[in-house]
Amino acid sequence: MSKSAKKNITDGQLVIEQSRDALWPNYSPPQDLLFSHGVGSELVTENGEVYLDFLSGIAVTAFGHSHPHLVKALQSQTEKLWHLSNIFRIPASERFAGQLVQHSFADRVYFANSGTEAIEAGIKAVRAYQAGIGHKERFRLLGFTDSFHGRTIAAVAASGNPGYMQNFAPTDHGFDQVPWGDLKAVKAAISPQTAGILIETVQGEGGIRPVNRDFLAGLRALCDSHGLLLMLDEVQCGAGRTGKLFAHENFEIQPDVLAAAKGLGGGFPLGACLATESVGKHMVVGTHGSTFGGNPLAMAVGNAVLDLLLEPGLLDEVSRKGAELRTALENLVTAHPSVLERVTGMGLMIGVKCVVPNVDLMAALRTNRLLVGRAGDNMIRLLPPLNVSDAHLEQALNTITDTIEKLA
């Protein structure tokens, strides 16, 4: 079709049909599904059909859609100041950083706009630390197979998934991977060039896999004995998802650097890289920066998200709901071994390994108005809002049960 023919279409639906070809073809959303708004754990289509959202934009809308406290925070900021640049002080970013420091291992925080950027900042911080203490030769980061750290060149190289790196040569950007959970392999892979170890506390895209406590303790010990830094990717599993503000708190082990994003912004693009003082102090003027990072709008929402995360009892409720959902799903696995294999996860980050193709179950659930995600290892991924109601949990379970009984 010619450009002018495309542009002459005025009917709303047709404009959408035609102009989707204007996007890069790098996503494949279901073509027949168009959402107009969301309230809490529910999304509503343009036709008024209501879907239960147990994906939360991949763990992003941590308090559901249009939460009044978040809406108010953003609305009141839009009337005051949108953007300033880090050339000037941004009090809301100082407050947000101060709160994060007060409630975590960290002493210093850098704000970015996405998970990948938080990861990039962390990688630079690890390398800057080693260079700063006289070990310029230590620049390599050791990571794990099936990991996912984002989509920039450094982040895909850190993930080591060959499919994601294809056609984006060169391939060696200073990252090595060893099998998940294999401490011996980690030990063997540490070289004089190794600067740190990068790991998702709970693997997300690769299949919902919480790190093993002893393994994480082993990594911490190896870092300490070899002068390496431990960097955690909590972009997906942080911000309350596992029932703790940050997932590593479940294991009583502290990192040196941590990347967070997704749920921390509650739906506003926001990332944060947290670090100890001994690492953060190396990120002096000129080492790193961002035009938008820590922008007043993002900081207004981030502070409001943290208000909700720190409300007494919220995190305990995440653990309780997660445990209940998990038990119910485990019963379903027992009842329908021809469809489901096992349940994994922590808190409200739950994976269900399927026997049937995960995409089939995901599509069947969508037909029944329940939105879930998929993950590696043939899993479906449940990431409901952290404040999901018991009634919606029950509704989701009923939908899953009905769907599975038909598939069995």
Does residue number 115 form part of the binding site for ligand PLP (CB under 6 A)?
A: yes
| DSSP code per residue over 250-306 | GGT---SEEEE-GGGGBTB--EEEEE-HHHHTT--TTS---SSTT-HHHHHHHHHHH
Residue with tokens 């096992």: 342
Cis preceding linkage at 170, omega within 30: yes
43 or 261: CB nearest ligand PLP? 261
Least distance between ligand PLP and beta carbon 333 (Å): 25
HEC profile of 216-265: HHHHHHHHHHHCCEEEEEECCCCCCCCCCCCHHHHHCCCCCEEEECHHHH
* Residue from 56, 61, 93, 114 binding ligand PLP (CB under 6 A): 114
C-alpha to C-alpha distance for 319 and 30, rounded to whole angstroms: 32
What's the Cα-to-Cα distance from 261 to each of 84, 205, 387, rounded to whole Å? 21, 15, 18
Closer CB to ligand PLP, residue 219 or residue 364? 219
3-class DSSP assignment, residue 197: strand
Cβ neighbourhood burial of 77 (10 Å; 0-12, 13-18, 19+): buried
Nearer to ligand PLP, 258 or 364 (CB): 258
Which segment (168-176, 199-207, 299-307, 329-337) binds ligand PLP by CB under 6 A? 199-207
Q: Which of 178, 235, 274, 306 binds ligand PLP (CB under 6 A)?
A: 235
Report the nearest approach of ligand PLP to the CB of residue 176 (Å).
18
* Residue span binding ligand PLP (CB under 6 A) among the ranges 87-95, 211-219, 230-238, 356-364: 230-238
From residue 200 to residue 219, the character string flagging contacts with ligand PLP as x (rule: CB under 6 A) and all else as - is x---xx--------------
Output 116 or 344, the one with its CB closest to ligand PLP: 116
Which residues contact ligand PLP by CB under 6 A? 114-116, 119, 148-150, 200, 204-205, 233, 235-236, 261-262
